[in-house]
Homo-oligomer: A and B are copies of this chain.
Amino acid sequence: MTTQAKRNDVPLYIKVHEHDNVAIIVNAGGLKEGAGFSCGLELIEFIPQGHKVALRDLEQDQPIIRYGETIGYAKTVIKKGSWVKESLISMPTPPELDQLPLAGQTIEPFPPLEGYTFEGYRNQDGTVGIKNVLGITTSVQCVTGVLDYAVKKIKQELLPKYPNVHDVVALNHNYGCGVAIQAPDAVIPIRTIQNIATHPNFGGEVMVVGLGCEKLQPDRLADQDDILSLQDQQGFTAMVATIIEMAEERLERLNKRERETFPASELVVGLQCGGSDAFSGVTANPAIGYAADLLVRAGATVMFSEVTEVRDAVHLLTPRAVNEEVGRSLIKEMKWYDHYLQKGEADRSANPSPGNKKGGLANVVEKSLGSVAKSGTSPIAGVVPPGEKATQKGLLFAATPASDFVCGTLQLAAGMHLQVFATGRGTPYGLAMAPVVKVSTRNALLEQWNDLIDINAGTIATGEATIEEVGWELFHFILDVASGRKQTWADRWGISNELSLFNPAPIT
């Protein structure tokens, strides 16, 4: 990667790969016509921050190369020093899924990292948690109003008596009834709820509030002792009293728990990006990828996701599969999603968003190449289908949509303790069950949102820090947050998003 200076008034671009014929403008506010770079390049028109400049003259139909990969073809002649806008780029076809190398890329194994630990909570089933939260699962949306009423009272009246418990979370969602529960794809939302009910940050305490007549019968989620069916109760007041009583039993047990030291190998970390821009792939995501490699070297489980933002870079991933079976699993998930989009008369051009484009991302190919940088360089040890629990160590591909909330919900179902979230445009995203570490791609975002951004990777673009430095900073921050020594901004403010289930089956 080539960067040139730290100060905003010195024209600066980032070229990622030696073969690239475009680079992105670093300077906040963009650069004017006439701006000259130390290499001799001069802009022949204004280019906004994060957008691409042509490093040489491009013929019509010539490949446009970024990250060493073709992100599209020039629709017309593009002069050196001009703005390579979205409208000038035609999309390449996606990688052909039946012709991909399935494994076998030789990866120089990094040495294991020893001695890194965190302070967590031991669960009876052998798993470890990093939070001590009472999670109250719902089997159907009907119970939301009553449960929210009860949880408000629990937080006000009970929680202060149990200072070792971090929170009480109502796991509301919009599944459970009025859905085609026998349809083949219904397996996804059902197993998602099942796995979330027993999340490791809930300390082994399970509690389910159901209605009674719903399609997703509560006994599919928990044992009878852990279930409250509202239709068995004598009215609203009794419902609320019973929820509070069941909650208090569990709060008492949770309150007795204490943190213990565990090796970093017990951690399950999810990676995601949202509100991406052209910097995501050169600052935040590579730094996250570096931290991911450190976590994998320390023996932890690390998941990257977002099928629609991986699809166009999948040819870079299948060779990294530890064996052909994992390679085939990766391709299977891509094919499932191709078919899912096709059924809905949509395609990959549904991504990126207007904000992504404003941030310089011309199309989903460019976005994907930046997105997969989060996965670092480790071998891909396994694939987790949507809603399933991760059962392996190492780097895993958890197949989820790219929607932040749906991806977050599915990574929680997979057992994620903590999520690392890269953002370029900025989003105040959070989860109640697991801390979300927000990493900014640009210095300007940190300056604007200094009470929301946890780690800034914008310094990589300006040359103030290296990918390695930010990667290590993030790695240490993850261990600190997992140990309760540091808090994310979202947790400090107590802001979080609701669960958002992936239900590709019909509703009825």
Contacts and interface: CB of A to CB of B under 8 A. Distances in A.
A344 B180 contact: yes
A182 B348 CA distance: 11
B183 A402 contact: no
Interface of A: 141-146, 148-149, 172, 174, 177-185, 211-215, 217, 230-231, 234-237, 239, 274-275, 308, 340-341, 343-346, 349-351, 353-356, 358-359, 401-406, 425-430, 448-452, 489-490, 493-498, 500, 502, 504-508
B341 A506 contact: yes
Nearest to A449: B235
A217 B354 contact: yes
Interface of A is mostly: loop
A490 B425 contact: no
Given A213-B356, A236-B452, A344 B185 contact: yes
A212 B214 CA distance: 38
Which 10 residue pairs spanning A and B have beta carbons closest together? A213-B355, A178-B403, A145-B495, A180-B346, A344-B506, A180-B350, A213-B425, A183-B346, A235-B451, A174-B500
A239 B426 CA distance: 13
Nearest to A214: B353
A31 to B, nearest CB: 22
11 contacts: A141-B404, A145-B490, A182-B346, A211-B275, A213-B355, A213-B356, A214-B354, A230-B426, A231-B426, A237-B451, A498-B498
A450 to B, nearest CB: 6
A124 to B, nearest CB: 31
B145 A346 contact: no
B401 A236 contact: no
A239 to B, nearest CB: 7
Contacts of A237: 451
Contacts of A428: 142-143, 145-146, 230, 236, 239
B403 A508 contact: yes
A507 to B, nearest CB: 5
Given A353-B177, A353-B214, A402 B236 contact: no
Contacts of A211: 275, 355, 425-427
